[in-house]
């Protein structure tokens, strides 16, 4: 079978929003889709079954971190990521390119690839386009990502141009090295805030005919308007019949804007990181559980939410868990935030089908801004 097939079910005539299904070897993903992040083989603090119960179809894991520990060969011997994580559905693995940005003080880049000084023990670890493909094939994800050069912003245009050129060269090497027929390989567009670089990068990568494309180089130091501008420039250059993935973006406001521009897939640590810090999102706005106003509050986090936190516990109980330093608080808050994002993209899908996506998005954004 083909490693990936995109089936577009509906498109909103008033904008570029679309909804459909991505068919992959381990299952079908409803789009727009939010992928919880399981960097080291687990969504932090949450069991795989609990992640599934939030409504997630697909999750993400990280090439760099899993190659460092426990090692991709070990994961392969344990049955691949699906068995290793006890996650039967589709999985996407990042290439490790983001760590070139996030661990910039621990790596050295050459045309061959990147040499990291491990954040665990300092040992040298080399990641090249070819080894990134080998590692991701060992991990066995449904979707693998090309190794790219993600520059930190702000940066001079010449530096971003060099990153774009390297990203294209590395994408070609990834394509040549990739051998797993039941794994789809996505290319990543770069270009920072520069329209001409974004357009050129997208055009050159599209000419290589990858199964899917990502918009990269966002959430790396730029403001929100710069992220939205990257979408306005990049997305129209990407094929209509291929999945479009916005990397590292998961704030509800940004998801709504990105869907309007035709993005299909998202990932971010936002829901679990905020949950661990007692911040929970609802359709009425943010609830900060450490606030004393919740001390005797008998209400759930959100009426009508099907998550285990909202079905069983009060805001007062959840606040107590955080104030007492109990693990249950961050776990339940994380589950709620993950469930919220799945409800958000589910409602977005329905709004697209009904041709009212812009009104749906506009109403929520107005509510959250007050």
Tell me the pLDDT tens digit for each residue of 269-303: 999 999 999 999 999 999 999 999 999 999 999 99
Asked whether residue 302 falls in the same domain as residue 263, the answer is no
Question: Region 81-101: what's the mean pLDDT?
Answer: 93
Q: pTM above the 0.75 mark?
A: yes
Does residue 364 lie in a domain region?
no
Question: CA 277: distance to chain centroid?
Answer: 20
Does residue 368 lie in a domain region?
no
Lowest mean pLDDT among 27-36, 103-112, 238-247: 103-112
Does residue 128 lie in a domain region?
yes
Q: Is the pLDDT of residue 194 over 60?
A: yes
**What pLDDT is recorded for position 221?**
61
**What pLDDT is recorded for position 218?**
84
pLDDT level of residue 223 (50, 70, 90 thresholds): confident
**pLDDT digits 0-9 by tens, 158-183:** 999 999 999 999 999 999 999 999 99
Question: Region 351-368: what's the mean pLDDT?
Answer: 98
Asked whether residue 120 falls in the same domain as residue 263, the answer is yes
Does residue 162 lie in a domain region?
yes
Asked whether residue 216 falls in the same domain as residue 326, the answer is no
Range of the domain at 157: 5-268
267 in catalytic set:
yes
Q: Which of 246, 268, 290 is the last residue of a domain?
A: 268
Asked whether residue 64 falls in the same domain as residue 10, the answer is yes
The closest alpha carbon to 340, from 50, 55, 37, 17, belongs to 55
Question: Region 203-211: what's the mean pLDDT?
Answer: 98
What is the share, in percent, of the chain residues with pLDDT greater than 90?
89
| Tally of helices (H runs) and strands (E runs) in the chain | 15, 16
Which residues are CB-neighbours of 307 under 8 A, at least 6 positions away?
54, 301, 335, 336, 338, 339, 340
What total number of domains does the chain contain? 2
142 in catalytic set:
no
Q: Is the pLDDT of residue 91 over 70?
A: yes
pLDDT level of residue 58 (50, 70, 90 thresholds): very high
pLDDT level of residue 134 (50, 70, 90 thresholds): very high
Asked whether residue 132 falls in the same domain as residue 77, the answer is yes
Does residue 365 lie in a domain region?
no
Q: Is the pLDDT of residue 102 over 90?
A: no
Asked whether residue 328 falls in the same domain as residue 220, the answer is no
Does residue 309 lie in a domain region?
yes
Asked whether residue 101 falls in the same domain as residue 244, the answer is yes
Does residue 124 lie in a domain region?
yes
The closest alpha carbon to 29, from 50, 52, 45, belongs to 52
Asked whether residue 215 falls in the same domain as residue 352, the answer is no
Contact of 297 with 316, CB cutoff 8 Å:
yes
Asked whether residue 233 falls in the same domain as residue 336, the answer is no
**Residue 83's CATH number:** 3.20.20.105
Asked whether residue 103 falls in the same domain as residue 249, the answer is yes
**What pLDDT is recorded for position 1?**
46
Asked whether residue 257 falls in the same domain as residue 285, the answer is no
Which residues are CB-neighbours of 147 under 8 A, at least 6 positions away?
95, 96, 97, 113, 127, 128, 129, 132, 170, 174
Q: List Cα–Cα distances, 336 to 38, 106, 271, 299, 302, in angstroms.
A: 17, 35, 8, 14, 9
Question: CA 197: distance to chain centroid?
Answer: 23
Asked whether residue 71 falls in the same domain as residue 96, the answer is yes
Q: Which of 212, 245, 268 is the last residue of a domain?
A: 268
Q: Which of 233, 268, 303 is the last residue of a domain?
A: 268
**Annotated catalytic residue, options 72, 94, 142, 161:** 94
**Annotated catalytic residue, options 142, 148, 254, 267:** 267
**pLDDT digits 0-9 by tens, 324-347:** 999 999 999 999 999 999 999 999
pLDDT level of residue 207 (50, 70, 90 thresholds): very high
**What pLDDT is recorded for position 96?**
86
Average pLDDT of every residue of the chain? 95
What is the share, in percent, of the chain residues with pLDDT greater than 70?
99
d(C-alpha 185, C-alpha 144), whole Å: 5
Question: Region 38-45: what's the mean pLDDT?
Answer: 96
The closest alpha carbon to 245, from 25, 66, 86, 95, belongs to 95
**What pLDDT is recorded for position 220?**
65
Does residue 369 lie in a domain region?
no
**What pLDDT is recorded for position 103?**
83
């Amino acid at each position: 079978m083909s490693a990936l097939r995109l089936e577009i079910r509906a498109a909103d005539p008033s904008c570029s929003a679309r909804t459909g299904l991505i068919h992959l070897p381990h299952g079908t993903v409803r789009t727009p889709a939010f992928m919880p992040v399981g960097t080291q083989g687990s969504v932090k603090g949450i069991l795989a079954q609990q992640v599934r119960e939030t409504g997630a179809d697909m999750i993400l894991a990280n090439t760099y971190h899993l190659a460092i520990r426990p090692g991709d060969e070990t994961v392969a011997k344990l049955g691949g990521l699906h068995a290793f994580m006890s996650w039967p559905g589709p999985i996407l693995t990042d290439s490790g390119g983001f760590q070139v940005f996030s661990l910039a003080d621990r790596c050295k880049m050459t045309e061959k690839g990147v040499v990291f000084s491990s954040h665990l023990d300092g040992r040298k670890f080399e990641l090249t386009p070819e080894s990134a493909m080998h590692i991701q094939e060992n991990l066995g994800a449904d979707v693998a990502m090309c190794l790219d050069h993600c520059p930190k912003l702000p940066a001079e245009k010449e530096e971003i141009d060099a990153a774009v050129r390297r990203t294209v060269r590395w994408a070609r090497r990834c394509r040549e090295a990739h051998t797993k027929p039941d794994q789809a390989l996505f290319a990543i567009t770069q270009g920072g805030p520069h329209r001409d670089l974004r357009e050129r990068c997208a055009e050159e990568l599209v000419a290589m005919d990858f199964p899917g494309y990502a918009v990269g180089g966002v959430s790396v130091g730029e403001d929100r308007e710069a992220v939205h501008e990257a979408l306005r420039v990049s997305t129209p250059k990407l094929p209509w019949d291929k999945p479009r993935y916005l990397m590292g973006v998961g704030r509800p406001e940004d998801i709504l804007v990105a869907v309007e521009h035709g993005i299909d897939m998202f990932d971010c640590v936002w829901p679990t990181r905020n949950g661990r810090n007692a911040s929970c999102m609802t359709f009425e706005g943010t609830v900060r559980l450490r606030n004393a106003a919740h001390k005797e509050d008998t209400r759930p986090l959100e009426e009508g939410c099907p998550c285990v936190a909202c079905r069983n516990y009060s805001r007062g109980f959840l606040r107590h868990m955080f104030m007492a330093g109990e693990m249950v608080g961050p776990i339940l808050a994380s589950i709620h935030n993950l469930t919220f994002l799945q409800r958000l993209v589910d409602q977005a899908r329905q709004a697209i089908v009904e041709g009212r996506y812009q009104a749906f998005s506009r109403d929520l954004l107005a509510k959250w801004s007050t």
